[in-house]
Amino acid sequence: MSGNIEEYLFQKKPIKLYILRVSGYNILHIANCIRKIIMPDYRKEIERRRTFAIISHPDAGKTTLTEKLLLYGGAIQTAGSVKGKATARHAVSDWMELEKQRGISITSSVMQFEYEGYCINILDTPGHQDFSEDTYRTLMAADSAVMVIDAAKGIEPQTRKLFKICAMRHVPIFTFINKLDREARSPYELMEELENEFKIGTYPMNWPIGCGREFKGVYDREKKEILAFNEFHRGQDKIKAIECRLDETEKLNSLIGAKLRQTLSDDIELLDGAGYDFDIDEVRAGRLSPVFFGSALNNFGVEPFLESFLKMTMPPLPRKSGEDIVEPTDSRFSAFVFKIQANMNKAHRDRIAFMRICSGRFQRDKEYYHVQGGKTLRLAQPQQLMAQERAIIDEAYAGDIIGVFDPGIFSIGDTICETGMGVKFEGIPTFAPEHFASVERIDTMKRKQFEKGITQIAQEGAIQIFHEPYTGVEEVIVGVVGVLQFEVLEYRLKTEYGVDIRRRSMPYEFVRWVENEDINIANLNLTSDTKWVQDFKGNNLLLFTSEWCINWALQKNEGLSLREFNRD
């Protein structure tokens, strides 16, 4: 048998015939050749993964940018819009019906697509502050973040809050300054605001040519080329670029005019001489933010952003497990649950647990160990997701986000790994609710639907539910971070579970978990407007109307220990 064994094995003929006739080859070498063909190198697969979250204040253009990234990645053929007016279709990532009605993102979406040899996992998060807890959990699953800023408004309150979360984990942050097709603030002013507010350096990867009606495109500092755009089709399709170098004066004058050409030349000279130097190590440490200018709605600067971003961002990062570090290239599979979502698809009416794979390779028919549950199990119906669309998969790698069927055994923060691996990833803290209401069903015949709906939505982390001791779920107390979550609860109970509810606001503003296990809550000396409740794990909590009432409880009850966050 002459020639290379790999060449023979790649032929479309039964492999076993060649193995029988082989002479002079070590059987282990043949087995390795077969393994290479049927099982790709998991390390290479991990290296090409890029998992990032897109964050912003509401209406900065975060979901629109997500749509355009999907468009350029070939995951969709026509990009939709958040508002759904001009483009006749809604954003893929805004899958919930209420999101389409309101024109805002209410829940985080997960999307995966291939682009230029990379496997990209995008996490599109809610920008509204009422859903910041969902965004926080999602950021725990990301290796880097893209911060979208409105060029006219600059940094806004929710942007500050989300940046701090990224900074705590030293997540690399890439900035996309959006809506240059509208009247905008000076790019120098925007960058200075970024540096002063967030105490990080900025490096503009491209530079805008005009803004609003005079917006002509962007100058790519790396390629030293002008990307000028002369087509407009509501940003639904890929837009064609005209490439032109800075020293092509006549061509530039015809494209953008002599005045804008001179302004651009002066700007680039100033940036090259006085701006921050580009340092990829500083970027990956979260101390330098590459800045891109563009208009996601009209596709200005989106493709250059995607290409540069993928080159600069990192493959999956290591994760902490107690005192140990779990490397993504560890051959053993490990993952954690960061999100649970019920009823994503009306045709399925099931519940999906979203898992971030931290190490190794996931295999569909293999059994894994559920750390919190203390038992081995087979993860049912593993899926790759495109918002609410889904496809069953046989394998996935570190960096990937997968969805698995959850029969009610998983909780947010749970660890799943190979048996004997002995890892337990850091839990995801629960935000303390700030608004409370009692909720009861209107139709007394719909007890089961009410219990199922309120419990499932609570397990997703969208709400927290409590009850008075020695009572059932005839009436529950619901706690939320933002009042808009009450409306989402009411809408989802009606549309997904067929239950109408009666909601009554309560005056409480603070909740504290009682850490003492041996204390009799009924005997505590509390103010008359303090309420004792329990969660559905049996933990004791106290609801307070003011901080003064909290101080009263601590002063009047020696040894009482209260905590603000739930770590269970």
The number of C-alpha atoms within 13 Å of 335 and in the hemisphere containing its C-beta is: 30
Strand 389-392, strand 415-417: pairing: unpaired
* pLDDT value, residue 237: 53
**Under 8 Å between Cβ of 24 and 95:** no
**pLDDT tens over the chain, length 568 residues:** 444 544 444 444 444 434 444 444 455 555 555 545 544 577 889 999 999 988 876 776 777 887 888 887 665 544 444 444 444 444 444 434 544 444 433 345 678 888 888 998 988 766 444 445 677 778 888 999 998 899 998 887 767 777 777 777 788 999 999 988 888 899 999 999 999 988 899 999 999 888 877 888 888 888 888 877 654 544 445 556 677 777 888 888 888 888 888 888 889 889 988 889 999 999 998 899 999 998 888 777 888 888 899 999 989 999 988 888 999 999 899 999 988 877 665 655 678 888 999 999 999 889 999 999 999 999 988 888 664 567 888 999 999 999 898 888 888 889 999 998 989 998 776 677 888 999 999 998 999 999 888 888 887 777 888 988 877 667 899 988 778 888 888 888 898 889 999 999 999 999 999 999 888 998 999 999 999 999 877 889 999 999 999 999 999 999 999 987 665 5
CA distance 556 to 262: 73
* pLDDT value, residue 104: 39
Distance between alpha carbon 94 and the CA centroid of its chain, in Å? 13
pTM of the model: 0.73
CA distance 150 to 148: 7
114 phi and psi angles, rounded to 5 deg: -100, 145
Please report, as a single letter, which amino acid is at residue 338: F
Distance between alpha carbon 39 and the CA centroid of its chain, in Å? 29
**Under 8 Å between Cβ of 409 and 370:** yes
